[in-house]
Chain A
Amino acid sequence: MTAVTEPTEQDQLAYVAAKAADSRVNVELETDDGMTLNIGPQHPATHGTLRIVAKLDGEQVLWAEPIMGYMHRGYEKLVEVRTYPQVTTLINRIDWLGSFANEVPFILACEELMEIEAPPRAQYIRTVLHEMGRISHLIMGVGDMGVQIGALTPMFYAFRDREYLLNQIEAATGGRFHPNFDRIGGVKDDLPAGWIAETTRIMKTMTAFCDQMDDLLMGNEIFEQRTRGIGVIPPELAQLYGLSGANLRASGIDWDLRRDSDSPMAWKHADFKVITHTDGDSFARTWCRLQEIRESAKIVTQLLDDLPSGPIMAKVPRIIKVPAGEAYVATENPLGEMGYYVVSKGDLGPFRVKIRTASFSNVSIVPWILRGVYVPDIITILGSLYFILGDIDR
Chain B
Amino acid sequence: MGLVESGKLPKPLTNLLNISRKYSLWMYQWGLACCAIEMAAVMAGPRFDVMRLGVIPLPASPRQADLLCVSGTVTDKMVPSVRRLWEQMPDPKYVISMGSCANCGGPYWDSYSVTKGVDQVIPVDVYVPGCPPRPEALLEGIVLLQEKIANEDMAEKWRGDPIVVS
The residues of A with any CB-CB pair to B shorter than 8 Å are 23, 25, 41-42, 44, 48-49, 69-74, 77-78, 81, 89-90, 93, 96-97, 140, 155-156, 159-160, 162-163, 176-178, 389-390
Contacts and interface: CB of A to CB of B under 8 A. Distances in A.
B111 A160 contact: no
Given A25-B84, A48-B33, A159 B41 contact: yes
B75 A73 contact: yes
A159 B85 contact: no
B32 A71 contact: yes
A74 B113 contact: yes
Interface string B23-56: 0000001111110111011001111000000000
B65 interface: no
Given A48-B32, A48-B36, A178-B132, A163 B41 contact: yes
Given A44-B58, A176-B132, 4 more contacts: A42-B30, A73-B75, A73-B114, A96-B34
Interface residues of B, number: 35
A71 B33 contact: yes
10 contacts: A23-B80, A25-B81, A48-B32, A48-B72, A74-B111, A96-B34, A159-B44, A163-B45, A176-B132, A389-B33
Which residue, A44, A77, A89, A96, has most C-beta atoms of chain B within 10 A? A96
A202 to B, nearest CB: 15
A240 B112 CA distance: 33
Given A72-B75, A96-B34, A81 B110 contact: yes
B78 A49 contact: yes
Contact of A42 (B37, B38, B77, B81): B81
A263 B110 CA distance: 34
Nearest to B47: A163
B75 to A, nearest CB: 6
Interface string B107-118: 110111110000
B25 to A, nearest CB: 19
A78 B110 CA distance: 7
Contacts of B18: none
Contact of B46 (A73, A97, A159, A390): A159
B107 A176 contact: no
Which residue, B33, B34, B72, B81, has most C-beta atoms of chain A within 10 A? B34
Which residue, A42, A44, A77, A96, has most C-beta atoms of chain B within 10 A? A42
Contacts of B31: 44, 48
A141 B31 CA distance: 16
A71 B80 CA distance: 14
A178 B132 CA distance: 8
A159 B37 CA distance: 10
A71 B46 contact: no
Contacts of A96: 33-34, 37
B111 A78 contact: yes
A44 B61 CA distance: 11
A90 B111 CA distance: 12
A163 B73 CA distance: 24
B84 to A, nearest CB: 6
B101 to A, nearest CB: 8
A389 B35 CA distance: 13
Contacts of A140: 37
B134 interface: yes
B107 A71 contact: no
B77 A72 contact: yes
Contacts of B34: 93, 96, 177-178, 390
B144 interface: no
A73 to B, nearest CB: 5
